[in-house]
Amino acid sequence: MSHQLNEQELERRKALQELIDLGIEPYPAEGFEVNAGTQEILDNYNPDAKNYQQVQIAGRLMTKRIMGKASFAVLQDARGKIQLYISRDDICPTEDKTLYNTVFKRLLDIGDFIGVNGYVFTTQTGEITLHVTGLKLLSKSLKPLPIVKTEKDGTVHDAVADPEFKYRQRYVDLTINPAVKNVFIKRSQLIGSMRRFMTEQGYLEVETPVLQPIYGGAAARPFKTHHNALDTVFYMRIANELYLKRLIAGGFDGVFEFAKDFRNEGMSRFHNPEFTMLEVYVAYKDYQWMMDFTEAMLERAAQDLHGTTQLPVGEHIIDFKRPWKRFTMYEAIEHFTGIDISEMDEAALLNVCKQLHIETDKSMARGKLIDEIFGTKCEPYLIQPTFITDYPVEMSPLAKKHRSKPGLVERFEAICNGKEICNAFSELNDPIDQRKRFEDQLELGRRGDIEAMMLDEDFLRALEYGMPPTAGLGIGIDRLCMIMTNQPSIQDVLFFPQMKPEKFD
RNA sequence: GAUUCCGUAGCUCAGUAGGUAGAGCACAUCCCUUUUAAGGAUGGGGUCCUGGGUUCGAGCCCCAGCGGAAUCACCA
């Protein structure tokens, strides 16, 4: 404890000592049995039924309004808050009024955890309230809690406006801003809904290595680390694709993993260095089937979270109801630019980029150029969930060649609110073709593409033993969650978004 | 990485031709009330992000740094 304590912190430490002097343990070890919740009481209390007459609840003291021999307070627990009515002679039936006069009125502070028991009633002003007959301190708070400010016109502002404060001290943000807590409950429900959907199909939830000697499965720069005993470089995974496909080769017919991936890149509203990706692989299926699967899973997730498929997202209402629109990538580009690029070579595409004012550089081959055109001229305008299919082979080294369209692969992305939310293909299971694609990646790397993939010999060996035809899907859970909870920034759907380490002096 | 903006009390925010640092909430002491979104009085609390510079004098102007945000770049 090297920092200077401010006045209010000193005051609370003084109160702490006074409590100890009174023989009150400020951090009791034993549990406190709770038999109701605040929100549950508000929802179900019925004055005629006389229910909730022996209630025991616990939580944080959020306000205190002292009015002499009787006081009001607000107790907040995990799901809500309820008013407490505390009368001196009820909690101090004997001559000794210390518990009320000293402990409650003076030594308890906003933010303290307390346990209370009593009976529920309705006050003259009609507010459902717990009439407290017993009170116990469960944990003393030593720092003042910011209080939500309500303007005279009724608008409520977050008690903490500084984003840095919110993200670094999420525990405070969660305590004082209930809407924040709700976002994370929704996030958990989202993952739960998707997990249930996949488990019901009989797919197996698995875990694969985070530390990988060869990173793969995506185009991205990795974090590098070191194993002491092996004296070996490991990379934090950028994707788990190649491991999950090994499992399909091993005989599972459906596997999935909610995986933390790590990419050593810039940070922004849409990028956190570590993020969560769902990957699913299903044997004997193709990308057409996977589109149906994706729609069904996300339609149901929206329904599970909100009871409807239509969600407000920023300025828009986004509808996850099936079926979603489907365009090929060439169709989408032609639709938004009026240019048919399907037959163009690299030189012609460079011209198109120039014409559309898209910057290019020497490392960009045909696939990358097409991706640039799509990324700037199409993607931002696709608001409703839309499948874009049939990508150029150059930008999809792990996808199977299109069954009928030369130069393309069987791949789709779903775009929603102007951003990619998932990526999927008929997985490449031809080991000869896969080796060639890896070699093409190595060539791209030599050309200066720092995100080109490494060649993974073990993965090729698995394909040589044989992998059934397989459909694979990856969904960025954080970005999906931003849409599903209408949050503008990835930091708002991560409890602890990555930030520069805080300095304590 | 580039550009722009922000950093003042525990929290939210004012502030100024460049002239002794403010409000609300919170906190403390007291009064009043005793089933309410209390009322009143008094008071304490600041490295105005840090370090330089200009100036008689800087929270304010200039430079650099730190931290954050937005936009862009990067990012399948």
pLDDT of A156 higher than 70: no
Mean pLDDT, residues A103-128: 92
Which residue, counting CA atoms, is nearest to the C1' of nucleotide B36? A72
Is the distance between the Cβ of A161 and the closest atom of strand B smaller than 7 Å? yes
Which nucleotide in the DNA or RNA is closest to residue A7, CA to C1'? Answer: B45
Q: Which residue is nearest to nucleotide B66 (CA to C1')?
A: A503
Arithmetic mean of pLDDT, A11-20: 92
Find, among A472, A428, A478, A422, the residue nearest to A453 by Cα.
A428
Rounded distance in angstroms from the CA atom of residue A50 to the C1' atom of nucleotide B55: 75
Distance CA A37, CA A80 (A): 8
> Please, is A309 exposed, middle or buried when counting C-beta atoms within 10 Å of its C-beta (0-12, 13-18, 19+)?
middle
Query: Is a pLDDT exceeding 60 seen at residue A151?
Result: no
Between CA A167 and C1' B13 the distance (Å) reads: 21
Give the span between the Cα atoms of A177 and A245, in whole angstroms: 43
pLDDT in tens, A263-320: 998 888 899 999 999 999 999 999 999 999 999 999 999 999 999 999 999 889 999 9
pLDDT of A3 strictly over 90: no
Q: How far apart are CA A65 and CA A75, in angstroms?
A: 12
Q: CA-CA-CA-CA torsion for A377, A381, A386, A391, nearest 10 degrees?
A: 10
CB contact at 8 A, A155 and A21: no
A162 touches strand B (CB under 7 A): yes
Q: Is there contact between A207 and strand B, defined as CB under 7 Å from any strand atom?
A: no
Q: Give residue A478's identity as a one-letter amino acid code.
A: D
Give the mean pLDDT of A74-99. 91
8 A C-beta contact, residue A57 and residue A75: yes
Give the pLDDT confidence of A463-479 residue by residue, as tens digits.
999 999 999 999 999 99
Nearest-nucleotide field for A150 (CA, C1'): B25
Average pLDDT estimate for A132-148: 91
Q: What is the pLDDT of residue A2?
A: 36
Predicted complex ipTM: 0.86
Q: Are A200 and A193 in contact (CB under 8 A)?
A: no
As ranges, strand B nucleotides with an atom below 7 A of a protein CB are 1, 9-13, 24-29, 32-38, 44-45, 66-76
Rounded Cα distance, A413 and A395, in Å: 13
CA distances (Å), origin A490, targets A436, A473, A487: 37, 21, 8
C-alpha of A285 from chain center: 29
Using the structure, give the distance in angstroms from the CA atom of A6 to the C1' atom of B32, rounded to a whole number: 31
Query: What is the pLDDT at residue A505?
Result: 60
Q: Which tokens hold the place of A236?
A: 């934090």
Q: What's the pLDDT score for residue A1?
A: 33
What values do phi and psi take at A87, rounded to 5?
-110, 140
- Whether the CB of A218 is less than 7 Å away from nucleic strand B comes out as yes
Rg (CA), chain A: 29
**Strand B, CB < 7 A, residues 78-107 of A:** 83, 85, 87, 106
- What span, in angstroms and rounded, lies between the C-alpha atoms of A338 and A439? 35
User: How distant is C1' of B30 from CA of A74, in Å?
Assistant: 25
Give A153's pLDDT tier (boundaries 50, 70, 90): low
pLDDT of A182-230, one tens digit each? Answer: 999 999 999 999 999 999 999 999 999 999 999 999 988 899 999 999 9
pLDDT recorded at residue A328: 93
Mean predicted lDDT score pLDDT of chain A: 91
- Residue A241 and residue A411 in contact, taking contact as beta carbons nearer than 8 Å: no
Contact by Cβ (8 Å): A407, A399: no
The DSSP output letter for A496 is: S
Counting Cα atoms < 13 Å in the Cβ hemisphere of A441 gives: 23
CA atoms within 13 A on the CB side of A31: 3
Strand B reaches within 7 A of the A67 CB: yes
Contacts of A368 (CB under 8 A, 6+ apart): A394, A395, A449
Q: Is the CB of A275 under 7 A from strand B?
A: no
**Closest Cα to residue A342, out of A378, A388, A390?**
A390
Whether residue A110 has pLDDT greater than 80: yes
DSSP code string of A269-298? TTB-SEEEEEEEEEET--HHHHHHHHHHHH
* Percentage of chain A lying above the pLDDT 90 cut: 69
Q: Give residue A178's pLDDT.
A: 86
Q: What is the pLDDT of residues A324-359, one digit of tens each?
A: 999 999 999 999 989 998 888 888 888 888 888 887
Which amino acid, one-letter code, is at A295?
Answer: E
**How far apart are the C-alpha atoms of A450 and A264, rounded to whole Å?**
12
* Distance, CA of A65 to C1' of B37, in Å: 10
Contact A73, A114 (CB under 8 A): no
Bigger pLDDT: A362 or A482? A482
pLDDT (tens digit, 9 = 90+) per residue, A49-62?
A: 889 999 999 999 99
Is strand B less than 7 A from the beta carbon of A375? yes
**pLDDT of A384-440, one tens digit each?**
999 999 998 888 899 999 999 998 999 999 999 999 999 999 999 999 999 999 998
